[in-house]
């Protein structure tokens, strides 16, 4: 909820203070019981801050119209809301927030290439090799990209995380998710010609190469990618939505994707990328 600066009325200030006090009182009680996350700040500019008492956890910010709930982690109840001329509508809106942690995750894929093999991966394009616990892809003809995907699976609501290093930043590279087959998938990529491109696209194989057929990213920030540095890229998927991170910083998100699930992989238009420590867990 956002409150606007000095022009807000006295009633708005009272409402803001009431909500903030209610939130912090509830957050303190919740922290004692759940020992999961402690909300340490909630500011009028729309920023909520908490501290993490758990490792290997995935958090969701939930809202409710009353402190007793029910708690929601989706805006689906608030959109779409068909209107009728002259009608009056009433809906529950966010007044209280909490942070919930989920540690009950299933490991769907864990790959460290320690056995020197990529037997679980399909080399769709480019040249791929395994060495020293890492997977290296080199762009090659005829598609002039490098693309590899994990064994087919239909995963939904999952977290994909991998460490990736590029030798250059003239073109983009990143993660494949929600792959329907080796020709149709979603892609989260960074770098690019200016070194700080950030995209979430729907890709398809056509006329001898992969093309982005639709753009979906709402960019939060463009990460500056430096060659020769390891970056942790993460995609969290929930239904037809995706949230993309670089080194745990949210950089982009996308809603209403064409696919709700699929399998994962890597893709690059750079000459060379190296990938390691791939982990896919349930959300």
pTM: 0.67
| Higher per-residue confidence, 83 vs 18 | 83
**Average pLDDT in the 172-185 region?**
93
Average pLDDT of the chain, as a whole number? 80
Whose CA is closest to 158, among 62, 89, 235? 235
- Tens-digit pLDDT profile for residues 179-205: 999 999 999 999 876 566 799 999 998
What is the DSSP-derived secondary structure letter of residue 120? T
Of the chain, the percentage scoring pLDDT greater than 70 comes to 81
Give the whole-angstrom CA distance, residue 96 versus residue 246: 29
Provide the token pair at 35. Answer: 């020992």
* Secondary structure (3-state) at 116: coil
* Secondary structure (3-state) at 227: coil
**Average pLDDT in the 109-133 region?**
91
* Secondary structure (3-state) at 239: coil
pLDDT at site 194:
59
> C-alpha distances in angstroms, 99 versus 7, 25, 44, 159, 176?
30, 14, 18, 18, 29
pLDDT at site 156:
93
Burial 65-91 (b: 16+ CB within 10 A, else e): eeeeeeeeeeeeeeeeeeeeeeeeeee
Give the whole-angstrom CA distance, residue 98 versus residue 60: 8
22 pLDDT above the threshold of 50? no
pLDDT at site 53:
65
> Of the given ranges (89-93, 190-194, 231-235, 242-246), which has the lowest mean pLDDT?
190-194
Provide the token pair at 22. Answer: 């209610």
92 pLDDT above the threshold of 60? yes
Query: Where residue 174 falls among pLDDT bands split at 50, 70, 90?
Result: very high
| Higher per-residue confidence, 144 vs 175 | 175
**Average pLDDT in the 71-89 region?**
78
pLDDT at site 188:
96
Query: Where residue 15 falls among pLDDT bands split at 50, 70, 90?
Result: very low
Highest mean pLDDT among 152-161, 196-205, 220-229, 254-263: 254-263
**Average pLDDT in the 21-32 region?**
37
**Average pLDDT in the 153-174 region?**
90
- Tens-digit pLDDT profile for residues 35-61: 456 777 766 667 888 887 666 666 778
pLDDT at site 72:
82
């Amino acid at each position: 909820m956002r409150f606007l600066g000095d022009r807000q009325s006295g009633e708005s200030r009272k409402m803001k203070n009431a909500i903030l006090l209610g939130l912090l009182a509830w957050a303190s009680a919740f922290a004692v019981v759940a020992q999961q996350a402690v909300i340490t700040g909630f500011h009028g500019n729309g920023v909520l801050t908490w501290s993490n008492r758990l490792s290997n956890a995935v958090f969701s910010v939930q809202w409710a119209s009353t402190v007793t709930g029910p708690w929601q982690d989706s805006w689906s109840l608030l959109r779409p809301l068909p209107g009728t001329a002259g009608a009056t509508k009433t809906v529950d809106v966010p007044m209280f927030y909490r942070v919930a942690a989920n540690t009950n995750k299933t490991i769907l894929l864990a790959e460290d290439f320690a056995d020197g093999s990529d037997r679980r991966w399909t080399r769709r394009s480019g040249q791929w090799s395994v060495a020293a616990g890492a997977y290296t892809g080199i762009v090659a003809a005829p598609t002039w990209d490098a693309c590899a995907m994990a064994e087919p699976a239909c995963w939904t609501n999952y977290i994909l995380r991998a460490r990736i290093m590029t030798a250059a930043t003239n073109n983009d590279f990143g993660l494949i998710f929600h792959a329907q087959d080796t020709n149709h998938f979603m892609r989260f990529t960074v770098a690019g010609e200016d070194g700080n491109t950030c995209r979430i696209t729907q890709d398809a194989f056509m006329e001898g190469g992969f093309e982005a057929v639709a753009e979906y990213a709402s960019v939060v920030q463009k990460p500056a990618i430096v060659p020769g540095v390891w970056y942790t890229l993460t995609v969290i998927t929930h239904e037809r939505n995706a949230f993309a991170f670089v080194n745990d910083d949210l950089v982009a998100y996308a809603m209403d994707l064409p696919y709700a699930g699929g399998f994962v992989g890597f893709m690059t238009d750079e000459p060379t990328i190296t990938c390691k420590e791939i982990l896919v867990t349930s959300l």
